Amino acid sequence: MNRSSFLKRFTAILAKEFVQMRRDRLTFAMMIGVPIMQLILFGYAINADPRKLPTAVVATDASPFSRSLLSALDHTGYFAIDPNPYTAAEAQALLARGKVQFVITIPSDFARSLERGERPALLIEADATDPGATGGALAAMVQVANTALAHDLTGPLARLNPGPPPFEVRVHRLYNPEGLTQYNIVPGLIGLILTMTMIMMTSLAMTRERERGTFENLLAMPVRPFEVMLGKIVPYIFVGAVQVTVILTVGHYLFGVPMVGSLLMLSGVLVIFIAANLTIGFTFSTIAKNQLQAMQMTFFFFLPSILLSGFMFPFRGMPGWAQTIGEIFPLTHFLRVVRGVMLKGASWAEIQPEVWPLLAFMGGAMVVAMLRYRRTLD
């Protein structure tokens, strides 16, 4: 083999590939952007041991023992004690809406029972829909029970220091008393699968027409951009409905995941969530030049969605900036809705704050898609 000829042919092919990479700027940007995004998210945003979890207190006992106990809980770093006093009904409502992770109830006779050596009961109610979010905090309660009142049990009360803790801790894991991860994972899989498949199928459908040369026929038809988008989106809503039906059926009969709330209400939110993801896919299809780019953009959107939504890692374990970014993604709000309806029996008033962001996201994606599509028409 002529070495000089080989080098010329190799150099020509090499130069061609670099030129092609320079032309395909989106793919090159993905090759650089995805590793950077993974490093930032896994290095700074992901935390499997969340701290400073919002905690409401129902306390009718204002003794020094109660104050010492709450101070000890706050110093563990796991509990962010809300200084506002709550009634039992108010605290339960906050827990049902997901505004707090724990409700701590200190009985009115806590100090008197403790002084008598009767070991009063301290009630901790935890939102256990995500067992991973509460495990560390509940484990810290063992140490708190042993040491929280060590400085208060002096003089006549010193007899309570040795032996078992002077009070009893009763933990109620609400909505998932057995701490089964299936109860948290299976509802989340509904949103995860819909996010991946709906965006991908819609973006590929449009770019496929462009690659096959049928996109020009679509542009020549006397239809408006909004009508094209509806025509592309509506069929996949039915596909998404079939996927949800399969997941719910398998989840209920195979894993025993309950459906405590209204299936009809959940179905309405599902349609909004599916439509929001389909509009994102349609928007990607107006940007991507081929199916490979559509796949890359789908992955670039899907990766932060799965990491910052609370599906894989506790949402409250992330730093504030990561939670702010996570609030942008539809999956974050849908997970709260589907887990709230299926596990808590949430009402419309309780899930409504999560539905408006889905509608806003869908509306914004529609506007961008329409602007991009009109630009294509020109």
In this structure, are 141 and 216 located in the same domain?
no
C-alpha–C-alpha distance, residues 145 and 167, integer Å: 7
State the DSSP string of 194-243: HHHHHHHHHHHHHHHHHHHT-HHHHHHSS--HHHHHHHHHHHHHHHHHHH
In this structure, are 114 and 232 located in the same domain?
no
Q: Are strands 102-106 and 79-85 parallel, antiparallel or unpaired?
A: unpaired
The pLDDT tens digits for 71-104 are: 888 888 888 888 787 888 898 889 988 889 999 9
C-alpha–C-alpha distance, residues 230 and 311, integer Å: 30
The pLDDT tens digits for 240-285 are: 888 899 988 988 888 888 899 899 999 999 999 999 998 898 888 8
pTM, two decimal places: 0.83
In this structure, are 157 and 231 located in the same domain?
no
Nearest of 279, 253, 272, 284 to residue 334 by alpha carbon? 272
In this structure, are 140 and 245 located in the same domain?
no
Residue the block writes with tokens 């991860």: 181
Pick the last residue of a domain from 145, 174, 203.
Answer: 174
In this structure, are 256 and 152 located in the same domain?
no
| Beta strand ranges found along 253-302 (DSSP E) | none
Task: Please check whether residue 13 lies inside any domain of the structure.
Answer: no
In this structure, are 124 and 196 located in the same domain?
no
In this structure, are 165 and 187 located in the same domain?
no
| Segments forming the whole domain that contains residue 121 | 53-174
Task: Please check whether residue 61 lies inside any domain of the structure.
Answer: yes
The pLDDT tens digits for 54-71 are: 999 887 777 887 888 888
The pLDDT tens digits for 325-371 are: 999 999 999 999 999 999 998 889 899 999 999 999 999 988 888 78
Checking if the pLDDT of 372 tops 90, the result is no
C-alpha–C-alpha distance, residues 338 and 184, integer Å: 10
